[in-house]
Structure 1
Amino acid sequence: MTSRRPCPPAPGPLEEYAARFDDLFFSLAQRRGFREYLTGLLAPRERNKTITCLAGAEPVAGAGTPGVQRLQFFLSESPWEAEQINDRRLELLREQSATAPHDGGVIVIDDSGDRKDGTATANVGRQWLGRLGKTDNGIVTVTTVWTDGRVYYPLHATPYTPAHHFARGRSDPAFRTKPQLSAALAARGKEAGFGCRAVVADCAYSVSDDWYLALREAGLAYVVALKPHRGTWAPADQPHIPIEAAQDLTWKDAKSPGDWTPVKRHFRDGHTETWWAADARLGGYGPNSPCRLVVATTDPAGLPPKATWYLATNLPHPHASTGPHPPADLGEIVRLYGLRPWIEQSYKQIKDELGWADFQVRSDRAIRRHQTLVNCAFSFCWDQWFAPPGALDATAPDPCPDKGAERGTRPVPPAPTALLAQGLTSHPFLAHPRRHPQPVVASLDGQGPALRPAGTDQRGHYRTRH
């Protein structure tokens, strides 16, 4: 068997990470493309990370250069499987003790949309885009993230295909709603070895019966938010919406809490808050029912809208009879749902720093490949965060030589000089491959993992948008 030709190494410690994927690529060109794409995603840039940007070429005018065409072919035409790459990425996360999943974490599901012009791109359509907070033309991707509050990373992602792309619309057998896609991704996460205490989601998923059924078939517990005014059947003299059920709970004050139990929440910056939680009764919900309604709030008397959660869960009450899942008290349910914002944090990082929505390809396969490579770049940052500090690599080329900004007249900030970032500038670099990439993760996570001291500077980011 002919030995493989050596591949030009990726800068610094990225080469060791990229080499773990080499057996999944069939040619030197693919291995080289993988390294170049990840390097471009991780390197600091002053404009959106389109393929011309990743290759270090001028926009539009540089589209025909060999480096750009090589990356374009790698993303769109080269025969490699994105699913295999993602499986290997997850395998590496499982193998590292610092990022290995455990049953105390959660799988958070959500979807996020980004604007895209035109109609020829796969999965594009006029739909609600959460990033913009309005209905517009764009692409929505359903994603899952595993987190325990200390580490967090994406598991799987799949673009949602609007009904108009199918011959029979929503009645087409191939059409899948976002709740159906998300439940399937959560089940895949469990099958991939990422155990969790529960699947966590916001109120957009609580309206789908298919979502509940799919999670039950997969043997997954859930904690999902309910809309406070979403009605359900009940006798005329009983509550019909979650907020009414919460108002029926007895409360006098903190010394005489009635039905409410104090719950202490611990936050990343070290401060704590006392919330109040209670099991409420509404229709089929109840402490001894298969599905519980848990209300958590900072003020049981006023139930402030922005600080009150109405949560449905199939985790049984501690005093209930045994069920398919271990019981959970009010404090644990509040803790589990309190982990949900970490998926929003990951969105900020993969979009603002790693170019999740900056692709300029049209095929579904190329879009999925780009998203897989972005997730690889994200996971590399965790890989290096927990790696012991190493010597500087003086032989690696500088991806951003001192020749001015790529766009505009704004000067490029100097690369970090400290091995460990003590604080972030207002426009943080994402990586410099000649240095141990602790600044990579420091710029992705303003406070870093809980084991590290928090930085003092505020994180900001300014980008041009299409």
Structure 2
Amino acid sequence: MDVELQILKHLARDAHPTVALIDEYCAEYKNLFKEVRNYECFKYFHLGIILTIKRKSLPEIAKVVSINSAQSLHHFIANSDWSVDELKQRRLKKIKQALNGQAITVVIDETGDRKKGKKTDYVARQYLGSVGKVDNGIVSVNAYGIYSNITFPLSVKVFKPKGTLKSGDKYKTQIELASEIITELIEEGVNIELVLADSLYGEQRVGRLCRLEATANPKGESSQFLRKLDEYNLAYVVAIRSNHGVWMPSGQSVRANKWCKFERTFSNQKSETRYIREIVYGKKRAITYWEITTDPETMPENSTSFVMTNLQGNLKKILGDLYGLRTWVEYGFRQCKQELGWTDYRFTNFQHIERWWEIIFSVYTMISLNSPVFLGLNQSHQLETEAQENNDVDFSNHPQWNHESGWKNTLNNLRLIIQPLLLFWLIYPWLSIFPNSDLLLGFNHLIATMNQFKPYYASG
């Protein structure tokens, strides 16, 4: 009976606090975890993954968040009872609430990461974007959102090569996975104003699209993705390969309009000169084709794009900047992989890998929602910020505080906020050997001050 009471007491206890900005973000996920220790691990992952650990392995995370053993973190990933889908839906809900109805750009991108051996699920020899060649690794299709040049993760689906399928698996191309992601985002109520994608999702559509007007309707898997966008009346800009031909009725010809110079504006408001021209295949159509380059004379391969779009209007002024947003997803995903440890898992079971990826996405979302762009969308945060300033708590006076508004700038500042707690955990064992009440009091006061940094998280 005493054992049962102890278990009930353990289950009923409150989760140990970390820092306010993480505790408040994670609070809306609390009821997804049946046991308090699993909820604590969820918070510890957010605390550890955000740090500047070279490799986000479970032992390293356990060490910095003051857990005696990495086994509890491994149990949370491998054995505890929680749903990736429920966590994802809750995360998307938080993003929608934070956006407060604002429309976003969605970028579809596939990524591949090298993995040794053959034991990891869905690893095969295939093209890996991270190394630019065929190698042994795992590939996923990812959707990222962009709002005011801040990237945030939406969804990820693993690509399962035919030779790796398990019982119950159905082979789906990367095109099909991308189409599924678009449908799921629409069903979740995400307000999408534009979709950007690379040549994988547009290249086979070119010839077939124009052939529709002349003869039959040959079906290709790439056209499936664009048909899905058409189904939802979504605007898009997708890359195509420059060597793709477009089928036209006899008597029509291809013409390239004159190059027009424009200023490509970047997120830091700096600009560079680019050139754009329309390629017209026969008669003008609702879908148009464009070349964008840094040098119209030499057409350098690494800075020349051939794109198609269903956007209308004066595209010479906007298309270059719009398609340039694709680089933000690639940049954003590199941030995710490098800063947050996307590939640092040592699991072979995909169910465990999927959990790891969704936790990484949750941490990534937490950082994005703390950016000035998102915080500025909510008036209540502005009022709270004013109240903090009235109390003379100005965190931005720290000499390492970054005053710019980008994602990495936000990450830098959040790392500064959680620094005192981590330093306290590091030094606390020595205080039991060499007691110092002044030092202990000072740390408590500093940590309490850090907990006044409470960014607004939308809740519903």
- Whether the aligned pair in 2 keeps the contact of 1:112 and 1:130 (CA below 8 Å) is yes
C-alpha distance in 2, partners of 1:81/1:129?
Answer: 29
C-alpha distance in 2, partners of 1:262/1:175?
Answer: 45
Deviations 1:307-326 (A, max 9, x none): 332211123x34xxxxxxxx
Instruction: Describe how 1:4-23 pairs up with structure 2 within 5 A.
Output: 4-23=12-31
Q: Show the counterpart of 2:45.
A: 37
- Whether the aligned pair in 2 keeps the contact of 1:262 and 1:276 (CA below 8 Å) is yes
Q: TM-score, normalised by structure 2?
A: 0.72
Compared CA separation, residues 115 and 303, structure 1 to 2 (3 A): closer
- Whether the aligned pair in 1 keeps the contact of 2:290 and 2:306 (CA below 8 Å) is yes
Q: Show the counterpart of 1:357.
A: 343
**Paired letter, 1:282:** Y
1:434 pairs, out of 418, 422, 439, with 418
Shift of 1:75: 0.6
Compared CA separation, residues 224 and 436, structure 1 to 2 (3 A): farther
Q: Show the counterpart of 2:116.
A: 117
Deviations 1:86-135 (A, max 9, x none): 22222222222xx55633x3100101111112222112111111111121
Where 2:272 maps in the other structure, the secondary structure is: strand
1:229 paired with 2:243, answer yes
Instruction: Describe how 1:341-356 pairs up with structure 2 within 5 A.
Output: 341-356=327-342
C-alpha distance in 2, partners of 1:140/1:226?
Answer: 21
2:325 pairs, out of 339, 345, 357, with 339
1:188 paired with 2:184, answer yes
C-alpha distance in 1, partners of 2:17/2:110?
Answer: 35
1:80 paired with 2:94, answer no
C-alpha distance in 2, partners of 1:345/1:133?
Answer: 16
**Paired letter, 1:354:** L
Q: Show the counterpart of 2:56.
A: 49
C-alpha distance in 1, partners of 2:232/2:369?
Answer: 30
Where 2:87 maps in the other structure, the secondary structure is: helix
Q: Show the counterpart of 2:139.
A: 140
- Whether the aligned pair in 1 keeps the contact of 2:116 and 2:137 (CA below 8 Å) is yes
Where 2:141 maps in the other structure, the secondary structure is: strand
C-alpha distance in 1, partners of 2:125/2:331?
Answer: 25
C-alpha distance in 1, partners of 2:34/2:179?
Answer: 33
**Paired letter, 1:383:** L
Compared CA separation, residues 184 and 120, structure 1 to 2 (3 A): same
- Whether the aligned pair in 2 keeps the contact of 1:106 and 1:196 (CA below 8 Å) is yes
Shift of 1:175: 0.8
Compared CA separation, residues 361 and 293, structure 1 to 2 (3 A): same
C-alpha distance in 2, partners of 1:215/1:85?
Answer: 26
Where 2:329 maps in the other structure, the secondary structure is: helix
Where 1:156 maps in the other structure, the secondary structure is: strand
Where 1:13 maps in the other structure, the secondary structure is: helix
C-alpha distance in 2, partners of 1:372/1:309?
Answer: 32
Compared CA separation, residues 352 and 173, structure 1 to 2 (3 A): closer
Task: Mark the structure with the bigger radius of gyration.
Answer: 2
C-alpha distance in 2, partners of 1:345/1:156?
Answer: 17
Q: Show the counterpart of 2:368.
A: 382
Compared CA separation, residues 302 and 136, structure 1 to 2 (3 A): closer
Q: TM-score, normalised by structure 1?
A: 0.71
Deviations 1:351-398 (A, max 9, x none): 11100011111222211111111111112112333366669xxxxxxx
Q: Show the counterpart of 2:102.
A: 102
- Whether the aligned pair in 2 keeps the contact of 1:101 and 1:195 (CA below 8 Å) is yes
**Paired letter, 1:135:** V
Q: Show the counterpart of 1:129.
A: 128
Q: Show the counterpart of 2:451.
A: none
Deviations 1:233-278 (A, max 9, x none): 2468866xxxxx5xx324xxxxxxxx44444321223222343433
- Whether the aligned pair in 1 keeps the contact of 2:149 and 2:328 (CA below 8 Å) is no
Q: Show the counterpart of 1:249.
A: 256
C-alpha distance in 1, partners of 2:101/2:262?
Answer: 26
- Whether the aligned pair in 2 keeps the contact of 1:41 and 1:54 (CA below 8 Å) is yes
Q: Show the counterpart of 1:68.
A: 70
Where 1:353 maps in the other structure, the secondary structure is: helix
Where 1:431 maps in the other structure, the secondary structure is: helix
- Whether the aligned pair in 1 keeps the contact of 2:128 and 2:137 (CA below 8 Å) is yes
Q: Show the counterpart of 1:159.
A: 158
Q: Show the counterpart of 2:36.
A: 28
Q: Show the counterpart of 1:371.
A: 357
- Whether the aligned pair in 1 keeps the contact of 2:152 and 2:364 (CA below 8 Å) is yes
Compared CA separation, residues 292 and 9, structure 1 to 2 (3 A): same
**Paired letter, 2:151:** Y
Shift of 1:419: 6.6
Query: Normalized per residue, which structure has more helix?
Result: 2
C-alpha distance in 2, partners of 1:282/1:173?
Answer: 42
**Paired letter, 2:44:** E
Shift of 1:215: 2.3
**Paired letter, 2:124:** G
Shift of 1:300: 4.2
C-alpha distance in 1, partners of 2:301/2:14?
Answer: 59
C-alpha distance in 1, partners of 2:174/2:236?
Answer: 16
- Whether the aligned pair in 2 keeps the contact of 1:43 and 1:432 (CA below 8 Å) is no
Q: Show the counterpart of 2:435.
A: none
**Paired letter, 2:48:** G
- Whether the aligned pair in 2 keeps the contact of 1:200 and 1:222 (CA below 8 Å) is yes
C-alpha distance in 2, partners of 1:124/1:173?
Answer: 15
Where 1:49 maps in the other structure, the secondary structure is: coil
**Matched-pair identity in %:** 26
Comparing 68-77 with 117-126, greater Cα deviation is found at: 117-126
**Paired letter, 1:431:** R
C-alpha distance in 1, partners of 2:166/2:31?
Answer: 39
C-alpha distance in 2, partners of 1:25/1:135?
Answer: 40
Where 1:197 maps in the other structure, the secondary structure is: strand
- Whether the aligned pair in 1 keeps the contact of 2:62 and 2:68 (CA below 8 Å) is no
Comparing 382-391 with 207-216, greater Cα deviation is found at: 382-391
The alignment yields a C-alpha RMSD, in angstroms, of 3.4
